[in-house]
Amino acid sequence: MSSKTKDMLLQNKKVAIIGGGPGGLTLARLLQLKGADVKVYERDKSREVRVQGATLDLHFESGLRALEEAGLMDAFRANYRPDADRLRIMDEHASIFFDEHSKTAKGDFGDEWFRPEIDRGPLRNMLLDSLLPDTVVWDSHIVSLKRHGDTWEIIFQNGNMVIADVIIGADGAKSKIRPFVTPIKPFYSGVTVLEGNIYDAEKNAKKINTVLQGGKIMALGDSKTISVSAKGDGSLDFYAGWNADVNWLTDSGIDFKNNKQVLEWFKKEYVNWDSIWLELFEAENTIFVPRPQYCMPLDQHWDAQPNITLIGDAAHLMPPYAGEGVNMAMLDALQLSQSLTSENFTDIRSAIAHYERQMFARFADIGRETLDNTEFMHSPDGLKKLMVMFGQHLE
């Protein structure tokens, strides 16, 4: 598995990746292929913890490129879900305006616009299985980080303590590592999302499941959105998005563990929407998670440090309305691994600086696209603008 070079920057260095999401695990795989000594510290109790979240579409120039470099494309082909990327665009009345199910083919690997879907669980298992034994240290919820000379002391909630030479924060939106890199904080996008998951969708959301057909739905109307994704286990994930004040979550008074309260809120907030959408909120045992959508400043910048940096949401949190989150994280992993194992840099700080310059530039562009999408999709002309956007792609 190793192709270690004699003068590699990470020679005799212990690398600690904080967070075992797709970005962190991809980085660990890529660094191990170069012979680096890597540990991933993940707060989940074990790999069996249920992985929530919608399916992920991987892009040619980022997520798929990282998997190619990691030697995992065969594993990906064995785990992805063909046709799960087929989309139906609808309005609030459940009328279908754009339907990819009617197309005979949607492209294949090697096509720039082919964006195959994979569930989070299979993607994580695929990445975990690619790592050396005991690379991931489970039940590692970080509580403090202290610098000791050229190293870092990491203390976890379970009482464990480790020393690392290099720290990479891959720990998401509420990163414990980010404050050690920069004081820059995210801003509220103006949109809040309510996430839910319905098990056995064929039984518990029959009408929506029939329309979904194993693919994806994006419904827009009345300056609101509902997106739905089928999953390989027969469940579906959905996200309702609307414009809300930054304090809406606390001011609303809604107990999101009380499904009847959530249903009544939906009936009022989405009053003009067809009754078919009620299925998403009437199903029993649905766990609702409200998520105000934040974004890092598009012009964020900081001076590179000698042995600590960030990837993924910890580096450039943004709303989900461009499908770039996981792809950005995996491309971060690829570019950081290339920098840290390159012979072009004399020290780790300069390697980190090179990676961060690329990351800043990418985020400035993709973050702007994401914010633009977030705004127009939750505007009165959201459906019209989305159709124009898809028309341009199809042409």
Q: Give strand pairing partners of 170.
A: none
CA nearest to 103, candidates 83, 130, 123, 76: 83
Q: Is 313 annotated as a binding residue?
A: yes
Q: Locate 188 and state its tokens.
A: 């509220």
What is the sign of the dihedral through the CA atoms of 232, 97, 291 and 197?
negative
Give the chain as a 3 state SS string: CCCCCCCCCCCCCEEEEECCCHHHHHHHHHHHHCCCEEEEECCCCCCCCCCCCCCEECCCCCHHHHHHHCCCHHHHHHHCECCCCCEEEEECCCCEEEEHHHCCCCCCCCCCCCCCEECHHHHHHHHHHCCCCCCEECCCCEEEEEEECCEEEEEECCCCEEEECEEEECCCCCCCCHHHCCCCCCEEEEEEEEEEEECCHHHHCHHHHHHHCCCEEEEEECCEEEEEEECCCCCEEEEEEEECCCCHHHHCCCCCCCHHHHHHHHHHHCCCCCHHHHHHHHCCCCCCEEEEEEECCCCCCCCCCCCEEECCHHHHCCCCCCCCHHHHHHHHHHHHHHHHCCCCCCCHHHHHHHHHHHHHHHHHHHHHHHHHHHHHHCCCCHHHHHHHHHHHHHC
CA nearest to 126, candidates 209, 46, 34, 47: 47
Q: Is 120 annotated as a binding residue?
A: yes
- Across the beta sheet with 14-18, the strand order is 136-137, 37-41, 14-18, 166-169, 308-310
Q: Is 86 annotated as a binding residue?
A: no
For residues 241 and 379, give the distance between their C-alpha atoms in angstroms, rounded to a whole number: 11
* Cα radius of gyration (the chain): 21
Binding site as annotated, residues for FAD: 57, 120, 313
For the annotated binding site, the residues are 50, 57, 120, 313
Residues annotated in a binding site for NADPH: 50
